């Protein structure tokens, strides 16, 4: 007659999942075969604790057990120690992970042999530099990549044309090798055939039996308007081939936007700086501002503009990626004082100062007066 699972772990019938985990950890450590070599009783208790834990930690199995006992579990297809889902023991890999020197997945029978999951092709990543003009209008670029591809001679089989694979002599076609360790039967993927059950005895001379060769490929890629630095463009199916029956990987093109000598970018908005002469700033002007799409915009500068003032050209920025709206262009002005004047120009400026009541030969106290007014302090 089977023992009560709660009694095996030493917990009450109202025990929480955390209490059950803690109790199982203590039991597993206490009866671990490494700590009890050759002790059949300890091996049996170790096995009983694992079976009890596998039931009590599963809410559905626990409910059936609480209501109908061991017979109820058998009626629902539970066959005891060899029928639990090994994933429930992932929290105890520190105890079981290197049991008998095997990995945790091999110890409890993970994906091995013919059951190993076929893999899709490997993705490739390529960096591509574009200009800000490319970003503004969108463009198309030609790419050259080198990737692993199916061997053109054997079409990816790895076999010399006209030959066939042979049954693996190590696993006899099963794709798995089994070992008996104590009361466990451990299954490992056959290293000779990689779990396929077959081996190539006459390899293709072109690829050496690998089924893959390095090949160059050229393709054209559309770069949409509005891409930003770091944008990843996915080109489906242009990666490397996968296992038989599995799709190719993808090619990811990572955009790098070159620094522009005139514009600075912030999101979809653009910023630029322009210089104005003294007379343009004082009297006003019309300045042609270049746009990234190849056109230009006439910016009207009002009279009396000061250095640092910013003007907006609506819609003069970049188009948003995948949309129709555009950012704005912001133009910041700097008034440049002329540094080389002839006698006539100096005379004109002197006359201007005189007309404005400015006495250039005297000390100007306007800044000092403003400081005193703001701070309430008197200068010397």
What tens digit of pLDDT does each residue of 220-258 get? Answer: 999 999 999 999 999 999 999 988 788 999 999 999 999
Does residue 50 belong to any structural domain of this protein?
A: yes
Q: Domain boundary at 236, 257, 278, which?
A: 257
CATH at residue 26? 1.10.287.110
Residue 111: burial class (beta carbons within 10 Å; 0-12, 13-18, 19+): exposed
Range of the domain at 25: 5-108
Q: How confident is the model at residue 181 (pLDDT cuts 50, 70, 90)?
A: low
Residues 63 and 86 in one domain: yes
- Across the chain, what does the average pLDDT equal? 85
Residues 129 and 245 in one domain: yes
Does residue 370 belong to any structural domain of this protein?
A: no
Does residue 333 belong to any structural domain of this protein?
A: yes
Among the residue ranges 2-6, 16-20, 56-60, 360-364, the one predicted with the least confidence is 360-364
- Rounded Cα–Cα distance for residues 8 and 24 (Å): 9
Which of 109-118, 189-198, 299-308, 348-357 is modeled with the greatest confidence? 299-308
Residues 218 and 320 in one domain: no
Residues 13 and 99 in one domain: yes
- Rounded Cα–Cα distance for residues 174 and 33 (Å): 30
Residues 217 and 268 in one domain: no
Among the residue ranges 57-66, 161-170, 183-192, the one predicted with the least confidence is 183-192
Contact status, residue 169 vs residue 233, Cβ threshold 8 Å: no
Residues 20 and 138 in one domain: no
Does residue 172 belong to any structural domain of this protein?
A: no
Helix runs in 86-182, H state only:
93-96, 104-107, 132-137
Mean pLDDT of 144-170: 93
Q: Domain boundary at 80, 108, 136, which?
A: 108
Q: Residue 102 above 90 pLDDT?
A: no
Question: CA neighbours within 13 Å on the CB side: how many for 106?
Answer: 18
Query: Which tens digits make up the pLDDT trace of 186-228?
Result: 677 888 888 889 999 999 999 999 899 999 999 999 999 999 9
Does residue 62 belong to any structural domain of this protein?
A: yes
Query: Which tens digits make up the pLDDT trace of 25-38?
Result: 899 889 887 778 87
Q: What is the pLDDT of residue 91?
A: 66
Residues 272 and 301 in one domain: yes
Residues 247 and 287 in one domain: no
For residue 239, the 8-state DSSP code is S
Residues 31 and 89 in one domain: yes
Residues 77 and 144 in one domain: no
Q: What is the pLDDT of residue 212?
A: 92
Does residue 12 belong to any structural domain of this protein?
A: yes
CATH at residue 135? 2.60.260.20
- Rounded Cα–Cα distance for residues 136 and 142 (Å): 18
Q: What is the pLDDT of residue 20?
A: 93
For residue 323, the 8-state DSSP code is S
As for how many domains the chain has, the answer is 3
- Furthest-apart CA pair in the chain: how many Å? 120
Q: What is the pLDDT of residue 250?
A: 94
- Rounded Cα–Cα distance for residues 188 and 113 (Å): 7
- Rounded Cα–Cα distance for residues 84 and 76 (Å): 13
Q: How confident is the model at residue 81 (pLDDT cuts 50, 70, 90)?
A: very low
**Does 289 or 77 have the greater pLDDT score?**
289
Q: Residue 67 above 50 pLDDT?
A: yes
Does residue 202 belong to any structural domain of this protein?
A: no
Does residue 91 belong to any structural domain of this protein?
A: yes
Q: Residue 106 above 70 pLDDT?
A: no
Residues 317 and 229 in one domain: no
Residues 55 and 138 in one domain: no
Q: What is the pLDDT of residue 42?
A: 86
Q: Residue 101 above 80 pLDDT?
A: no
Q: How confident is the model at residue 94 (pLDDT cuts 50, 70, 90)?
A: low
- Rounded Cα–Cα distance for residues 91 and 107 (Å): 14
């Amino acid at each position: 007659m089977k023992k009560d699972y709660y009694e095996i772990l030493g917990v009450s019938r109202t025990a929480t999942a955390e209490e059950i985990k803690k109790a199982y950890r203590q039991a597993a450590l206490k009866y671990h075969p490494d700590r009890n070599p050759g002790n059949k009783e300890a091996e049996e208790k170790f096995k009983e604790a694992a079976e009890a834990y596998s039931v009590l930690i599963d809410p559905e199995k626990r409910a059936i057990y609480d209501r109908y006992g061991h017979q109820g579990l058998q009626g629902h297809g539970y066959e005891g120690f060899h029928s639990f889902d090994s994933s429930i023991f992932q929290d105890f890999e520190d105890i079981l992970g290197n049991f008998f020197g095997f990995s945790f997945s091999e110890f409890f029978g993970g994906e091995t042999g013919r059951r190993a999951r076929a893999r899709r092709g490997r993705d490739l990543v390529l960096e591509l530099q574009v200009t800000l003009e490319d970003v503004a209008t969108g463009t198309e670029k030609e790419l050259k990549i080198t990737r692993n591809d199916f061997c053109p001679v054997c079409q990816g089989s790895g076999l010399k044309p006209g030959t066939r694979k042979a049954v693996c002599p190590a696993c006899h076609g099963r794709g798995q090798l089994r070992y008996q360790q104590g009361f466990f039967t451990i299954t490992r993927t056959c290293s000779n055939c990689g779990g396929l059950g077959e081996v190539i005895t006459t390899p293709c001379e072109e690829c050496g039996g690998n089924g893959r060769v390095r090949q160059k490929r050229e393709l054209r890629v559309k770069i949409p308007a509005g891409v930003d630095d770091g944008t990843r463009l996915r080109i489906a199916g242009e990666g490397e081939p996968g296992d038989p029956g599995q799709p190719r990987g993808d090619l990811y093109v990572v955009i790098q936007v070159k620094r522009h000598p005139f514009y600075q970018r912030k999101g979809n908005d653009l910023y630029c700086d322009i210089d104005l002469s003294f007379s343009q700033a004082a009297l006003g002007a019309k300045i042609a501002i270049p746009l990234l799409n190849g056109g230009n915009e006439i910016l009207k500068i009002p009279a009396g503009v000061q250095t640092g003032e910013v003007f907006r050209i609506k819609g003069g920025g970049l188009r948003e990626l995948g949309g129709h709206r555009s950012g704005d262009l912001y133009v910041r002005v700097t008034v440049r004082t002329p540094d080389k004047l002839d006698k006539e120009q100096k005379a004109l400026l002197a006359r201007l100062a005189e007309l404005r009541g400015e006495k250039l030969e005297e000390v100007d106290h306007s800044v000092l007066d403003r400081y005193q007014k703001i701070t309430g302090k008197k200068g010397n």
